[in-house]
Amino acid sequence: MRDVSKFLSGFKRFQQHYLGERHALFDRLLAEGQRPRALMIACCDSRCDPALLTDCDPGDMFVVRNVANLVPPYDRARLFAATSSAMAFAISNLEVEHVIIMGHARCGGIRALMEHKPPQSDEEKLIAQWIGIAESARLRVQEELPGKPEEVQCRACEQAAILVSLENLLSYPWISKRVDQGKLALHGWYFDMTSGELLQYQPAKGGFEVLVANAHVAARSLAANINPADAV
Ligand SMILES: [Zn+2]
């Protein structure tokens, strides 16, 4: 079994940075309370930590993580209260100005949804009930991309599920009211960990477009194209 010493040395670095060098930020957060500007709903996947991906400071972002970054619809909010109650606190109490649904490539939850196997155990039933929130995304992909490779279908479903969650957000009266009043903006993001890019749903275009390109890949490609004769 691997130990947890890596996390303890990491916590020491956190102390040094935020409680030492930058203690003023934490002092202010303790004195004034948190006032995050955004609620991020992200997947539990260990490769998609919102704070790491966005390089935020403590206090910047209120984060809810669940399998496949799903938002239950309003009529099932009580059944899935862990997510809906956190949304209520962030939106009604903390008055965040943005809600970001962040999906990602290679999502195990979405893959399980697409595989659509009958659950065999208690654990599988729990997962199936949860990811069933995005069932309409699976049906849409099956209808629009029949017979396509699994990778293509999963990617399409990962993105379609983000749209389901955005729609579900608007089914909550206290969310749609704030959106109508211009007090709250909703965003659909997709972390493509295969390309290192961040994509955003563009409602006007009906699809996802690159929001932040991967400059490192571009630089490597450029370097690879350099004529060896020109290399120093
Ligand atoms: Zn995931």
Rounded to the nearest angstrom, the distance between the alpha carbon of 67 and the centre of ligand 1 is 6
88 shares a domain with 2:
no
Q: Please determine, for residue 205, whether its predicted confidence score (pLDDT) is greater than 90.
A: yes
pLDDT in tens, 113-148: 999 999 999 999 999 999 999 999 999 999 999 999
217 — pLDDT class (breaks 50, 70, 90): confident
Looking at the fold, whether 126 and 168 belong to one and the same domain comes out as yes
**Residue 42 shares a structural domain with residue 13:** no
Domain residues for the domain of 112 are 37-230
CATH number assigned to the domain comprising residue 99 = 3.40.1050.10
For residues 102 and 202, membership in a common domain is answered with yes
Residue 230 region by backbone torsions, left for phi larger than 0, else alpha for psi between -120 and 50, else beta: alpha
Query: Are residues 42 and 29 part of one domain?
Result: no
In a shared domain, residues 25 and 79: no
Mark whether 51 and 166 lie in a shared domain.
yes
Confidence of residue 218 (pLDDT cuts 50, 70, 90): low
Taking the whole predicted model, whether its pTM rises above 0.85 is answered as yes
Let me know whether 16 and 95 are in one domain: no
84 phi and psi angles, rounded to 5 deg: -70, -35
Give 41's strand partners: 64, 101
- Tens of pLDDT, residues 169-199: 999 999 999 999 999 999 999 999 999 999 9
- Compute the distance from residue 190 Cα to the ligand 1 centre, in Å: 11
User: Stretch 23-27: mean pLDDT, rounded?
Assistant: 95
What is the domain count for the chain?
Answer: 2
Burial tier of 211 (Cβ tally within 10 Å: 0-12, 13-18, 19+): middle
Report the separation in Å between the CA atom of 47 and the middle of ligand 1, taken as the mean of its atom positions.
9
